[in-house]
A and B are shown apart, each in its own frame.
Chain A
Amino acid sequence: MSFLSYLINGVSLGSVYAIIALGYTMVYGIAKMLNFAHGDIIMVGGYAAFLAMVNAGLSPLIGVLVSIVVCTLLGVVIERIAYKPLRMAPPLAVLITAIGVSYFLQNLALLLFGADTKTFKSVISFKGISLAGGALQISGVTIVTIAACIVIVVGLSLFINKTRAGQAMLAVSEDRGAAQLMGINVNKTIALTFAIGSALAAIAGVLLCSAYPSLNPYTGAMPGIKAFVAAVFGGIGSVPGAMVGGILLGIIEILAKAYISSQLADAIVFAMLIIILLVKPTGIFGKKIQEKV
Chain B
Amino acid sequence: MKKKKILSLILVAAMAVTAFAGCGKKESAKNEGGSSEGSAVFKIGGTGPLTGDAAIYGTAVKNGMELAIKEINEAGGIGGVQVEYKFEDDEADAEKGVNAYNTLKDWKMQMLIGTTTSGACEAVVAESHNDNLFQITPSGTSINSVKYDNAFRMCFSDPAQGTVSAQYIAKNNLAKSIAVIYNSGDTYSNGIYENFAKEAKNQGLEIVAAEAFTSESNKDFSVQLQKAKDAGAEMVFLPMYYTEASLILAKAKEMGYAPSFFGCDGMDGILTLENFDTSLAEGLMLLTPFSVDAEDEKTQNFVKAYKDAYGETPNQFAADAYDSAYVIKAAAEKAGIKPDMSVTEIGDAMKKAMTEIEFTGLTGTNITWGEDGEPTKEPIAVKIENGAYVFM
Contacts and interface: CB of A to CB of B under 8 A. Distances in A.
Please determine if A and B sit in direct contact within the complex, based on CB atoms under 8 angstroms apart: yes
B243 interface: yes
Contacts of B312: 114, 116
Interface string A231-273: 0000000000000000000000110011000110110000000
A140 to B, nearest CB: 10
A262 B56 contact: no
Nearest to B250: A213
Interface string A183-200: 000000000000000000
A214 B56 contact: no
A137 B243 contact: no
A11 to B, nearest CB: 11
Given A5-B226, A213-B250, A266-B216, A218 B59 contact: no
A85 interface: no
Interface residue tally of chain B, by bracket?
Answer: 35 or more
Interface string A1-22: 0100110010011000000000
A218 B243 contact: no
Contacts of A5: 226
B224 interface: yes
B279 interface: no
Contacts of B59: 114-116
A121 interface: yes
B247 interface: yes
Given A137-B254, A218-B53, A118 B217 contact: no
A212 B221 CA distance: 10
Contacts of A13: 219-220, 222
Given A139-B254, A213-B250, A117 B243 contact: yes
12 contacts: A13-B219, A50-B275, A54-B275, A114-B312, A117-B273, A137-B255, A214-B246, A216-B56, A218-B52, A222-B216, A257-B223, A263-B212
Interface of A: 2, 5-6, 9, 12-13, 50, 54, 107, 110, 114-121, 134, 137, 139, 212-214, 216-218, 221-223, 253-254, 257-258, 262-263, 265-266
Interface of B: 50-53, 55-56, 58-59, 184, 211-214, 216-217, 219-220, 222-224, 226-227, 230, 243, 246-247, 250, 254-256, 273-277, 312
